[in-house]
Amino acid sequence: MDTAPGTAEVSAQVKVEGVWKIFGRKPREAQAMAEAGATREEIQSDTGSVVAVRDVNFQVAPGETFVVMGLSGSGKSTLIRCVSHLVEPTEGMVELCGTELTRADNATLRELRRQKMAMVFQHFGLFPHRKVVDNVAYGLEVQGVDRQARQDRARELLDTVGLEGWGDHYPQQLSGGMQQRVGLARALAVDPEVLFFDEPFSALDPLIRRDMQDELIDLQMKLQRTLVFITHDFAEALKLADRIAIMNDGAFVQVGTPVEILTNPADDYVRAFTQDAPVAKVLQACSLMRPLDGRTVEPRWPQVSLATPLENALPHLLGSTNPVVVCDEDNTPMGLLHGDDVADVISENRP
């Protein structure tokens, strides 16, 4: 694709600047009231318009998992529809993989959806009359990939998401968790650079939901895609995110890493979420590890993986002044986990 001068290298795969979404007949009046400090209720009463998203700005780096978290009605689902351009923003700029969506024509948008981006929704949207393998291969079919090649790719992805041998079944023969895995495989089939998730696991029971979260973490470590993930569950946000944006009344209240959100909540709204967060269960060793900075790793120091929960690393730290070595999947040391750092985070978040 052609790029403007200075944009050959995309430092952020998603850029959002000054995005507003206002539903109603008087969006300009509503925006002016919002900028003057009026509440959502006051604006709706005076103009009949609803400010769903107000002046949101953020960027997502390649390979980053950016989670937008908020309660029902906070505007998070409307935001992701604006960012993916399923909904036209009232005002603002959205750029995806170097292309400005808010100025793109329909042909460019179609091509981006076929090649660069994919979405996974809470409701799976599988075709009931198509076998699982054909559901997964649908995006490749739209791209014009021949049947054998797309089926081979679909079965490979079904293996990746733990559904080996289920390709010739129909969606109604699968459980809810299995159907969501099919939806994830379908999104991955077109090899997108950016994936948008709109509360994909919220309809699943807790055990299956946890399994799907673990599955997504494992896949992200292997594939390193750029993810924008919407949820109302703070524990889920903590578990999945590289960075979290907490949303309220259409605006971002705080953006930061899970550790930053937990240890330095911006206001009482954010603090209310952090008080009951299962910090030791949710935060992983990679969240608190310090860089090696050339330090020699002693063979006697215990090792944990990047995704090890802090509660599983604690036994190695109790009663010892030695750090724990945090390793990647190839057992290569990536950082050091120190007992003082873990204790500080856990003590800060006790009610």
Q: Per-residue confidence at 350, pLDDT binned at 50, 70, 90?
A: low
Distances (CA, A) of 302 to 141, 285, 331, 339: 49, 13, 12, 13
255 shares its domain with 140: yes
CA dihedral over 183, 81, 254, 69, signed as positive or negative: negative
- CA 77-94-17 angle, 5° bins: 95
Confirm whether pTM is higher than 0.85.
no
- Same domain? For 78 and 224 the reply is yes
Task: State whether residue 221 is helix, strand or coil.
Answer: helix
Whether 112 maps to a domain, the answer reads yes
Per the structure, the complete domain to which residue 297 belongs is given by 281-348
Examine the fold and report which residue of 220, 243, 277 is the final residue of a domain before the chain moves on. 277
The tokens describing 68, both together, are 């937008």
DSSP secondary structure code for residue 207 in this structure: H
Residue 83 clears pLDDT 90, i.e. is over it: yes
CB atoms near residue 273 (< 10 Å) = 21
- CATH number of the domain within which 67 lies: 3.40.50.300
Looking at residue 215, its pLDDT comes to: 85
Instruction: Tell whether 196 and 324 lie within a shared domain.
Output: no
Torsion angle (degrees, nearest 10) of CA 180, 184, 186, 188:
-170
Most confident of 44-58, 153-167, 207-221, 335-349: 44-58
Examine the pLDDT at 313 and tell me if it is beyond 60: yes
Q: How many domains does the chain have?
A: 2
CATH number (domain holding residue 327)? 3.90.1280.20
Same domain for 148 and 197? yes
| 319 and 213 within one domain | no
Same domain? 166 vs 297: no
Which of 256, 277, 298 represents a domain boundary (last residue)?
277
Over residues 88-112, the pLDDT tens digits come to 999 999 999 999 998 999 999 988 9
Q: Which of 66, 80, 83, 73 is nearest to 16 (CA)?
A: 83
Residue 82's nearest CA partner among 111, 126, 52 is 52
Same domain, residue pair 256 and 234 = yes
Dist CA 15 CA 19 (whole Å): 10
